[in-house]
Chain A
Amino acid sequence: EPEVTQTPSHQVTQMGQEVILRCVPISNHLYFYWYRQILGQKVEFLVSFYNNEISEKSEIFDDQFSVERPDGSNFTLKIRSTKLEDSAMYFCASNSDRSRNQPQHFGDGTRLSIL
């Protein structure tokens, strides 16, 4: 069964540094998402992306965050200047259809640790 893949599985970065988290969504999917889960807390939506542009974003997704689909397969989340509170598990997800009954398929996540 096709999977969403994320790299790296764990990223350790110094505060203030830029970090790029990578995702390869399922190949025929058109809608892409990033979520994050701070340790012990709930999964929170960051941003959704369709047709090479952001379609929705949450309050968390401020100017230090950006997303990009640089080629036909990758979907990246960039954090420009990391802060301690950015430490979390970041999940990428995708689905094939915008209709509300299509489930989103999640990757295994990237654990981001900011020192």
Chain B
Amino acid sequence: GNSVTQMEGPVTLSEEAFLTINCTYTATGYPSLFWYVQYPGEGLQLLLKATKADDKGSNKGFEATYRKETTSFHLEKGSVQVSDSAVYFCALRGPQAGTALIFGKGTTLSVSS
């Protein structure tokens, strides 16, 4: 079945450091891929998405590229801020699996000044 694997956290960085959160997936067909962010005490917010191979999603300085050959969708940001501290979830929505989102376990990012 479809699944998403994220790197284990927590990830602790200093402000302005480079961020990578790894995400790989298993899916039949060609899924759409998403990154959601959950700030403390809040719900899930869509951060970015990519719907086909080689698409790059970007938002708020974050980027992720849909890599079909490596079945990956790694999240990157060149310079993190304290306000980026949150839990980040990689998710997929497969063409054969109906409309449900399948989430990874989430990666907690903590940025200090």
Contacts and interface: CB of A to CB of B under 8 A. Distances in A.
B82 interface: no
Contact of B99 (A4, A35, A56): A56
Nearest to B97: A56
Given A42-B106, A48-B98, A101 B49 contact: yes
A106 interface: yes
B31 A100 contact: yes
Residue among A43, A48, A108 with most chain B CB within 10 A: A43
B51 A109 contact: no
A93 B102 CA distance: 13
A45 B105 contact: no
Interface in A84-112: 91, 93, 95, 98, 100-101, 103-109
B106 A104 contact: no
B78 to A, nearest CB: 24
Interface string B76-104: 00000000000001010111001111111
Given A45-B102, A55-B98, A106 B43 contact: yes
B32 interface: yes
Nearest to A41: B105
- For the complex of A and B, list the 10 residue pairs with the smallest distance between their C-beta atoms, beginning with the closest: A108-B43, A101-B51, A106-B44, A45-B100, A43-B103, A42-B105, A56-B98, A100-B32, A103-B46, A106-B43
Interface of B: 31-32, 34, 36, 42-46, 49, 51, 89, 91, 93-95, 98-106
23 contacts: A31-B99, A33-B100, A42-B103, A43-B44, A43-B91, A45-B100, A45-B102, A48-B98, A48-B99, A48-B100, A55-B99, A56-B99, A93-B101, A100-B31, A100-B32, A100-B51, A100-B93, A101-B49, A103-B34, A103-B49, A105-B46, A106-B36, A108-B42
